[in-house]
Structure 1
Amino acid sequence: MILASSAAVYGAQPGSQATPLHEDLPLRPANPYGQAKAEMEGEARRLADALGVDLCLLRIGNVAGFDAILGGWRPGFRLDRFADGRSPRRSYIGPLMLADVIAALLALPDLPPVLNVAQPGPVEMAALLRAAGRDFATAAAPQTAIAEVALDVTRLTAFLAPKMSLPVADPRAMLAEIALLGTEKKEQDPS
């Protein structure tokens, strides 16, 4: 069984490209959503063990177009700006790439108990908005803000190798996937 979870179970632990968050880290959810996902993972694991069912938890990073940046954009949108001038960087995956990854995993035997799911390389949120042609402002990041959260996808890449390779996360490619799906928000027709 494959169960969709979230990278939110890692909480506020910073993960950088140099030291990404790997699947064996302790869970430290920082909000109710992350806590609910961590509880779901624990209960699913207990049930799978009791029933003798193989279970692979997919800790999915940000899905482009269904995230708070592209999916939540509104006029007046504001991003944090860190001392280096950059906006937050996060692990992302395009929606079609996510579907391809899940399809490939379903065809593979002996999946590990947990896999992080994202494309390699964190994406700067400002780069996503610029690629989408969306206006935004920036403001100094608060002390509590995390500049980069990168998921370690080494394990995922190894398991997918017989079926597919994961391209590095690219804002323009992810936007092209969104356009193919027709999921971009459209203005409401007043008639």
Structure 2
Amino acid sequence: MKKISISLAILAAMGLGAVGNASATNNGKLVLTGTLTDISCDVGAGSGASAGNNPGEINVDLGNVSFSDIGRPAANKIETASPIQLLVNCTAGAAKYNAVKMRFVARQGSGLDNSDQTLLRTTGAADGVGIALLNASNEFMDLSGNETIDAALVRQGTDGATAELNFAAVYALNGSSAATNPGNADGFLPFVLDYE
């Protein structure tokens, strides 16, 4: 599996010298790992999304939703879900790949909800709510796990390909003991595309 991300692992064990010890040393080591790939792909907004203000950002408007229209993930209340379509366009290096998998990195975004780790934590004034993702089968995804949104790569020319990633986002009650409170409920969720 090729990844389009490059990871930096700092596995340094740096000891602190004793105070006043002129000959103290600090030793450590950086272990840098990563993967380079020759596939060149862009991800753009399809239906239900729009381009953000910065490169790589994709905006999704979840709308103005009433607490009475949402429930816990187990209640499967998805009537207010916002469908999201992302368009993958590979211009080079795609000939040896058949599929793309989108995985989410919630902990590097607004985080996992404190009361329900399957949901994305929201920022803003609203309380008692998180943001859930639904896969293409309208099933709630566990954002703390390793679930992915998968799509086949469709060949375009000799070395290019395209794909459509379809899923949805919906507000969900997080089950916290705190009362629900209206207000903005925003979040951001980084993702990585892996090609196989």
Task: Give the alignment's TM-score, normalised by structure 1.
Answer: 0.31
Which structure shows the bigger proportion of residues in strand conformation? 2
Task: Give the alignment's TM-score, normalised by structure 2.
Answer: 0.31
Larger radius of gyration: 2
